[in-house]
Amino acid sequence: MQTLEKINHSKGNDVKLCVIQEPPVYLDLAKTMERACELIGSAAAQGAELIVFPEAWFPGYPTFVWRLAPGAGMGKSDELFALLQDNSIDRINGGLDPLRDAAAEHGVVLVVGYNELDSGMSGSTLFNSCAVIDADGSIVNNHRKLMPTNPERMVWGFGDASGLRVVETAVGRVGTLICWENYMPLARFALYAQGIDILCAPTWDSGDTWLATMQHIAREGGCWVVGCATSLETSDIPEGIPFYDELFPNKEEWINPGDAVVYRPFGGQMAGPMHKEKGFLLADLDPSEARASRRKFDASGHYARPDVFNLTINRSPSQPATFTD
């Protein structure tokens, strides 16, 4: 592993960001991992130092839960879930190692949205997770989505707050919230209170309302905000996926337009949105702008009023069983 050098937060040390707005090889982890490593190499060749992948990109967001009737589609969703389960990442047994190797090889920080299979618990439950991998290949944080939304609860278990952290990386202090976690005021505040420079928001959401949320967080939190969903068309879905024609009858459909976007600390669009396009969204960020912007409004500092408001966060890992031999 290469020696990790943390950036100096003094003014003028820009970081080259690359948001990946390319589709995975849907529900095929091996091919998706291969594609990811190629994309990382290509982004690094363009100078990227921070590379962000969307929510559940490995091996694809389970959009089928929104497209099957809750009752009539139960057996079909079982079959699709089993396929997703077989192609999810087991972090405990080294499933992120190819990405760790790629991060170290190219000296880049990765923010990776993925379906996580926890072999250390039941070996069956999936989590919607986001890992931060530093430029030396070390996993510096793994956050599991606290609250899956509506039918997502048929796919993912509930995460705990053990990964609700802002971590120091080679590009600054990075935190992540997944999709509609960004609508949770207390989850946002938990990250603001840890001196965040860059908030990455891997998502499946898109459109004006989502973009307004990203803008609001940049102003509220005084931090860089990176929003990114998977840009995906029906033509990107392999025809061999079970119930392909039923799930994707419109062969010309944009399933998700992507809308990758970057907002400056205290608000103001920096790059994007990248709508119905595929490729890389590139931007130069100065992490020091985040702390400087909070002179005007610091949600967890001079605007916090701790005499009136106080937030307690339980970050101890939640385990369903404890074994004593």
In whole angstroms, give the CA distance from residue 159 to residue 145: 5
Give the CA radius of gyration of the chain: 19
Alpha carbon 244 to chain centroid distance?
A: 26
**Whether residue 130 lies in the annotated active site:** no
Task: Please give the C-alpha separations between residue 142 and each of 23, 235, 238, 255, 317, in angstroms, as whole numbers.
Answer: 22, 32, 29, 28, 12
78-to-57, 91, 171 alpha-carbon distances in Å: 20, 23, 41
Tokens at residue 211, please? 């973009």
Catalytic residue from among 18, 179, 223, 228: 179
Q: What is the C-alpha end-to-end distance of the chain, expressed in Å?
A: 37
Out of 18, 22, 130, 145, pick the active-site residue: 145
SS3 content of the chain, % helix, strand, coil (to 5): 30, 25, 45
In the residue annotation, 223 being an active-site residue is answered as no
Closest-CA residue to 220 (of 168, 294, 144, 287):
294
Helix or strand run (H / E) with residue 221: helix 208-221
55 given a catalytic annotation:
yes
Length of the chain measured in residues:
325
Q: Are 216 and 177 in contact (CB under 8 A)?
A: no
CB of 159 closer than 8 Å to CB of 176: no
Which listed residue (16, 18, 22, 55) is catalytic?
A: 55
- Tokens 């290469």 identify what position? 2
Q: Are 182 and 221 in contact (CB under 8 A)?
A: no
**Active site positions, annotated:** 55, 145, 179
